[in-house]
Chain A
Amino acid sequence: MAKKPTQKEEIGTTGHSWDGIEELNTPLPRWWLWTFYACIAVAFVYSLAYPAWPGIHKASAGFMGWSTRGDVAAEIAAHEAQLGPINEKLASAELTEIAGDPELQGYAVSAGAAVFKTWCAQCHGSGAAGAKGYPNLLDDDWLWGGDIEAIHQTISFGVRSEDSEDTRFSQMPAFGRDELLEPVQIDQVVNYVMSLSGDPMDASMVADGAVVFEENCAACHAEDGTGDIYQGAPNLTDAIWLYGGDFDTIKETVTNARYGVMPNWNARLSEAQIRAVASYVHQLGGGE
């Protein structure tokens, strides 16, 4: 029987040899080669169909008209279309009746939490606990009122917002900077204010401080120091201090006054979003 030619004899090698190991010069299978050519053709058509070829200012758009931004826009539109009915219902409901409707309240709180995390958490904190100068929304103390309607009003028009005519506005005089009070009078009134909330103070100044308070402060903060939510005048008798309740901080406040600012969100958020975040804030634990 004649010896069959070996593969090496039949096909030949590439001529490369590594430590005596040679590589056969086997041609590519036909089917593989044709698949390869087909892939090149498909890739070319693909590059025309989708954005691919770089230009001077932007890449070719592709005849399919597809773009990632278009995808996102379509997804957002679909999402909004899906939430349209309940958003409409939320925007048109009586504010005080939202909490009584489990479906609406559930949606408002969930959607409001998302709005809060996006727009409010920067100042008020992700847990709504606030910071120095930014009110804590969890407690039971409200500068401008803590019922759902007051919260809705505050969020819609902001506080001391320059862009809104209806914004919450009040202005405490800078008693020290503008020399409305003598430095000693300021010390006296600070000690009096601290006595209102039961904090340790210099008792010898309280009586004089009470007089200063009566003449300069009681108009807004009320005679008993409990404040006035219609003027955003803080309650000075409680344990909550927006900027701090120690002597130096209160003295700083009386001397220079404080003007916290919050944007009017009606310029950026829809009515449904505002109502949602108002419902969310209202149910955090301090809502009235």
Chain B
Amino acid sequence: MSQTEPEASSSLYAAREPIFPRRVKGKFRSLKWVLMAFMLGIYYLTPWIRWDRGPQLPDQAVLVDLANRRFFFFWIEIWPHEFYFIAGLLVMAGLGLFLFTSALGRVWCGYACPQTVWTDLFILVERWIEGDRNARLRLHRQKKWDFRKARLRMTKWVSWFLIALATGGAWVFYFTDAPTLLVDLVTLNAHPVAYSTMLILTATTFLFGGFAREQICIYACPWPRIQAAMMDEDTITIGYRSWRGEPRGKHRKAEGAENLGDCIDCMACVNVCPMGIDIRDGQQLECITCGLCIDACDEMMDKIGKPRGLIDYMALTDEASERSGNPVKNVWKHILRPRTIMYTTLWSLVGVGLVVALFIRSDIDLTVAPVRNPTYVTLSDGSIRNTYDVRLRNKHGEDRPFNISLTGHPALRVQVEGTPYSSVNVPADSTYLQRVYVIAPKGSEPAESERVEFRLWVEDTASGDRAYKDTVFNGRAN
């Protein structure tokens, strides 16, 4: 053999092989339809759910109010200082992903990932318009752009574009009042950010769902690489029972057919695969474990009177076990193992912690920043005064009078800047900066000592809610 030129042997570029998944029926396909309808329903409808919070707060159930730095979720309102809730949810999402990946492999990829869901939807639309696999293949191979091809292609692209537009459109509704924004969008009065966000998401949905499809999973997404580190031999994945299926063969009536395995090499599993792979080749990076090949194969097995499960959800350990003649192991025995139980426990602990934190948090709050320049001021009657910048937080949808008081030393007296009373009116849903003075009479213990600790209280006089912060009074010895 002559030596080959290095340039000729390794091109880094491979053109995409178009994939035309065939229609399939079965339990996993049905599950995917249900999940798709459910998840798309959540995505498109959530911004339109109303939730009454009083006159001064938005009535959108789920709203990420970036301008006012609030996150509304039904009865929950998250302020920026409560970002730990979001962090906690992200931790839960991470642990959840660990759990599902170690137990069920790439179940996220196969059922819940937006890329999968929208690609599925786009392929469905494609099938409605252009027909099933064979019709689409014919249309693809037809070089000439006659009227029919142009009509079908245009119909498909316009349908895709409308779905993409609705997708990008739904996204922006999460960030401002949906009905108002819809009117603004239609009348061209919306903020440019809304339009540019819609434009970007529409374009990406159109391109990723319509054209890039499995390429995103194979080349763009980091998750297939990360998941390999989280799977083990008990993780559920899709496998082909080669010990049952091989040697495969089509011609059942030919000579020597009695030696053939159950696989009739009908290519049904390959034809339905949205990733364009042959699952019989074994574990592959491309496989998103969507289960459509299982449905296709089961249908075939039913037709030829063989037992189902030639292609099936199974764990890697099943191969050795089944090859040595053991019965098929129940998937739950794979799923329930110390690792997944540990993930579930951690996940639940974080979840319970967040729920507890949600219930014990107060609707009023304060932060106290003692003014340290100077640490104290001597007044003309000889008393010592300290100044505190107090931020009062009112999470109610109405103005509330807050009463300020202190405990900790009988000689200390609180005085609220700008009013002879100890009460201030804090506007609805806001943080209010109030300067507060604490005064110790001349010769009293706090006035003469270096520092005295005390506790500053606020009380919502309307509801009786109280909150406090511990801080320090600096005396003349300071």
Chain A residues in contact with chain B, CB under 8 A?
Answer: 1, 125-127, 129, 136, 138-141, 198, 235, 238-240, 285
Contacts and interface: CB of A to CB of B under 8 A. Distances in A.
Given A285-B387, A285-B437, A235 B374 contact: no
A198 B380 CA distance: 12
B377 A285 contact: yes
Contacts of A136: 377-378
Given A285-B385, A285-B387, A285-B437, A127 B380 contact: no
Contact of B381 (A1, A239, A285): A239
Given A285-B385, A285-B417, A125 B374 contact: yes
B373 interface: yes
Contact of A239 (B374, B379, B387): B379
Contacts of B442: 239
A126 B373 contact: yes
B374 A140 contact: no
For the residues of B in contact with A, the DSSP-based class is loop
Top 6 A-B pairs, shortest CB-CB distance: A127-B373, A239-B382, A238-B380, A129-B374, A141-B380, A138-B377
19 contacts: A125-B373, A125-B374, A126-B373, A127-B373, A136-B377, A139-B377, A139-B378, A139-B379, A140-B379, A141-B379, A238-B380, A238-B382, A239-B378, A239-B379, A239-B380, A239-B381, A239-B382, A240-B379, A285-B435
Contacts of A139: 377-380, 385
B2 interface: yes
A284 to B, nearest CB: 9
A140 B380 contact: yes
A238 B381 CA distance: 6
A119 to B, nearest CB: 18
Contacts of B387: 138, 285
A198 B443 CA distance: 12
Contacts of A140: 379-380
Given A139-B385, A235-B380, 5 more contacts: A129-B374, A139-B377, A141-B380, A238-B382, A239-B381
Nearest to B443: A198
Interface of B: 2, 371, 373-374, 377-382, 385, 387, 417, 435, 437, 442
Contacts of B377: 129, 136, 138-139, 285
Contacts of B385: 139, 285
Contacts of A138: 374, 377, 387
B436 to A, nearest CB: 11
Contacts of A285: 377, 385, 387, 417, 435, 437
Contacts of A1: 2
A18 to B, nearest CB: 27
A127 B382 contact: no
Contacts, number: 44
A70 B324 CA distance: 87
Contact of A127 (B374, B379, B437): B374
Contacts of A240: 378-380
A127 B387 CA distance: 12
Contacts of A235: 380
A141 B381 CA distance: 10
A180 B251 CA distance: 135
Contacts of A125: 373-374
B186 to A, nearest CB: 35
A282 to B, nearest CB: 12
B430 to A, nearest CB: 14
Residue of B378, B382, B417 ringed by the most chain A CB atoms within 10 A: B378
A1 B1 CA distance: 13
A67 B2 CA distance: 68
A264 B429 CA distance: 45
B56 to A, nearest CB: 18
A109 to B, nearest CB: 11
B231 to A, nearest CB: 46
A235 B374 CA distance: 23
A171 B414 CA distance: 40
A1 B379 CA distance: 104
Contacts of B378: 136, 139, 239-240
A129 B373 contact: yes
A239 B378 CA distance: 7
A47 B387 CA distance: 57
A287 to B, nearest CB: 10
Nearest to A198: B382
A138 B377 CA distance: 7
Residue of B371, B377, B379, B437 ringed by the most chain A CB atoms within 10 A: B377
A138 B380 CA distance: 11
A279 to B, nearest CB: 13
A60 to B, nearest CB: 42
A170 to B, nearest CB: 20
A140 B437 CA distance: 13
Residue of B373, B379, B435 ringed by the most chain A CB atoms within 10 A: B379
Nearest to B371: A127
A141 B379 CA distance: 7
Nearest to A240: B380
Nearest to A137: B377
A240 B384 CA distance: 11
A156 to B, nearest CB: 25
Contacts of B382: 198, 238-239
Nearest to A239: B382
Contacts of B2: 1
A224 to B, nearest CB: 14
A240 B2 CA distance: 103
B219 to A, nearest CB: 30
B21 to A, nearest CB: 45
Contacts of B435: 285
A140 B415 CA distance: 14
A122 to B, nearest CB: 15
A4 B373 CA distance: 82
A140 B381 CA distance: 9
Contacts of B374: 125, 127, 129, 138
Nearest to A138: B377
A235 B377 CA distance: 17
Nearest to B380: A238
Nearest to A129: B374
A4 to B, nearest CB: 10
Nearest to B385: A285
Contacts of A141: 379-380
A235 B381 CA distance: 11
Nearest to A197: B382
Contacts of A126: 373
Contacts of A198: 382
A139 B442 CA distance: 14
Contacts of B380: 139-141, 235, 238-240
